[in-house]
Each structure stands twice: as C-alpha cells, then as structure tokens.
Amino acid sequence: MTAQCEVTAKAASGAPMGFFERYLTLWVFLCIAAGILAGKFAPGIFQAIGRMEFAQVNLPVGLLIWVMIIPMLVKVDFGALHEVKRHVKGIGVTLFVNWLVKPFSMAALAWVFIRHLFSGMLPEGELDSYIAGLILLAAAPCTAMVFVWSRLSNGDPLFTLSQVALNDTIMVFAFAPIVGLLLGVSSISVPWATLFTSVILYIVIPVILAQLWRRKLLASGSFDAVMEKIGPWSISALLATLVLLFALQGEAILKEPMVIVLLAVPILIQVLFNSALAYFLNRAVGEKHEIACPSALIGASNFFELAVAAAISLFGFASGAALATVVGVLIEVPVMLFVVKMVNRSKNWYERKENA
C-alpha cells in the first residue's frame, strides 16, 4: 500500500462522526423551519437570489455546492484503484448494486409509488419532477459519509477507500447517461446540455481541483490538519443551500405537508433493499464481513450533495425534483444508522457462513 493510501485510509477509518453529521436530521429540520419562515417574511431577497443565474446555473448555489463537494473529494485517493484487485468479488458486488440495480430499482419504485399509488395525494403537476429527483438521488453512490458508516461497522478502510475511488471514477462517465436514460424512460424531458454542464461543474471540475489540492497538502505534510479544519464546510454549505431551497419552496410545502412523508417511502425501501442485496451477495460469494459492510453501505447511501445540485440546475429551486433530493438528505442519517446496526448485529450469522 502506498504512503498516500495509508494516509487516506487512516483518516477514513479514524475520523469520528462529527457534531454536524451526528445530528444531520435535526439540522435539516431546523433548516426547513428557518427557510420557510425566511421565505415568508423576506420573499424578495430569496427570489433575487434565485434569479442570480448564468447559463442556467445559479451562482450562489454553484459556490455552495463546490464548498460541499470539494472537501469530500480531497479525501479520495485515486491511487487506491489498484487495491480493488485484493477483493474482486466485493468490488464486483459493489459495482453491480450501485450501477446496475440501484438507479433502476429507484426508477421502478418512483414509478410505482409516485405515478400510481400516491398520485392522488401529490400535486398532479409535480409528479414527473418528484420522479426525476428520486432518480437523481439514486444515480450516484455516496462519497464521504460512507467512510463514517464503514468505520461504525468495522469495515475494511482500504476496501472502503478503493470502492469510493472506483465509483467516483465511473461516476464521471456514467452519471449523465444513466440519468438521461432513466428520465427518458420515465417520459421526462431530458435537458441534455444542462445535464452535461452539471456533470462538468459538479463532478469533473471539483474532482480536478480536489486532487490538485490533495497533492499539495500531502506534499506539505498538512493533510490531516487541513482535513480536520475543513470538515464542517461540507455540511454547513449543504445546510445553507437547504435554507435557500425551502425559502422558495415553503409555501408549497405548507399547503402539502404530507409530500415529504410520501417521498420518503420509496427512498426508505430503496435503501433497505439495496443494502440487504449487497450484504447477502457478499456472503454468497464468500467475502468477509469487513468487506460486506462497506459494500452494503455504499449501495444504500447516496451522494445527496450532487443530487441536490443537479436537481436545482436541471429543474430549479422551486421544483419537486429539488424537494425530493432534500428528503433523501433528511432521512440519510437515521436510516443509515439503522442499516449499520443491522449489519453489526448480524455479524455472527454472517461469519457462520465464512467458517462453514
């Protein structure tokens, strides 16, 4: 293992869940309240912010998204890609679930629940937008929080790092085609130019900037110190984005408060289904528990920061798509902690297969 891999694997395995991450659901609820109140009492300010666009990209949100994403990507060591050969079966399960099951299962669940079962309880004009948001949420695997989930389940930190690096590499090329395909299948108009612009702005450029910054930090020996200092940036920027979003969405949410609950249903099913599938497949192919856990957890969690950014770029602040991605943020921590608890409690059952 290279020295850089050692540094990043150590950081990934040793970093505790921070104050913001631990109470993310609470902060999201507070941002919902703050945003709704701010939008009600100062609507002109937020409408002006919403109009600050260039080439269909909202400039304040674009800046916030970079602040969200770049610190996460600095942690990713693409030099760890050669480590995937150590656990080919586990990586195979990860790729299968993340790219061949997860986006398509979410599209199917969205079609069943939003288009049919819940259609009479949701605003009719937003059904397509809600489906688009759910597809965006499931189209990119988790990048940062999966390190936390892996540590809490005693997952192999180097395997976690290598699967994140591989998924991020694939995401650069696969995110736009998968989203475009699934939106098209769902009969949703695909703004291809905006979609590709989002990929460049929110994946390609941040990856390049983050890796240049990473090299500089490693060369100066300040990697760990800087990572600790910028840790809160991502969540803080996410919460600021949510305040903006709910300031513009507040009136619609107050009229239809059950929308959030209904959107949460397919997300919950998707998380539980994909985590269980990856966990059982790793057991079936003979991988160890410390490999199965991070493989299952990355299959269950989402790169919700990218989903929020793409939804706002493609459909706007006040869209149902943006709201759907925020629901994913809202339930991420409690649901993932439940999945972590399940894989930890089932360790003895899992290892009976290993020892058989």
In the chain, the number of structural domains is 1
pLDDT digits (tens, 9 = 90+) for 122-141: 888 889 999 999 999 998 88
Question: Taking the mean position of all CA atoms in its chain, how far away is CA 321?
Answer: 15
pLDDT digits (tens, 9 = 90+) for 239-257: 887 788 778 766 666 776 7
Q: What confidence score (pLDDT) does residue 14 get?
A: 47
User: Which of the 8 DSSP states describes residue 222?
Assistant: -
- pTM metric for this prediction: 0.80
CATH number at residue 207: 1.20.1530.20
Q: What is the rounded CA–CA span in Å between residue 249 and residue 320?
A: 9
- What is the dihedral sign for C-alpha 318, 316, 122, 120? positive
Q: Would you state the structure tokens that stand for residue 195, as one six-digit string?
A: 């979609």
Q: Would you state the structure tokens that stand for residue 233, as one six-digit string?
A: 């940036």
72 in Cβ contact with 234 (< 8 Å): yes
Tell me which residue range forms the domain holding 18.
3-355
pLDDT digits (tens, 9 = 90+) for 275-316: 999 999 999 999 999 999 999 998 788 887 788 878 888 888
In the chain, % helix, strand, coil (3-state, to 5) comes to 85, 0, 15
Instruction: Please determine, for residue 324, whether its predicted confidence score (pLDDT) is greater than 50.
Output: yes
pLDDT digits (tens, 9 = 90+) for 99-108: 999 999 999 9
Q: Which of 176, 40, 188, 35 is nearest to 126 (CA)?
A: 188
Q: What is the percentage of the chain residues whose pLDDT exceeds 70? A: 88
Q: What is the rounded CA–CA span in Å between residue 280 and residue 308?
A: 30
Calculate the alpha carbon distances from 157 to 14, 209, 210, 217, 339 in Å.
Answer: 9, 24, 20, 21, 18
Q: What confidence score (pLDDT) does residue 98 get?
A: 92
pLDDT digits (tens, 9 = 90+) for 147-195: 778 888 888 888 888 888 888 888 888 888 999 899 887 778 777 777 8
159 in Cβ contact with 89 (< 8 Å): no
Calculate the alpha carbon distances from 199 to 173, 306, 347 in Å.
Answer: 9, 9, 38
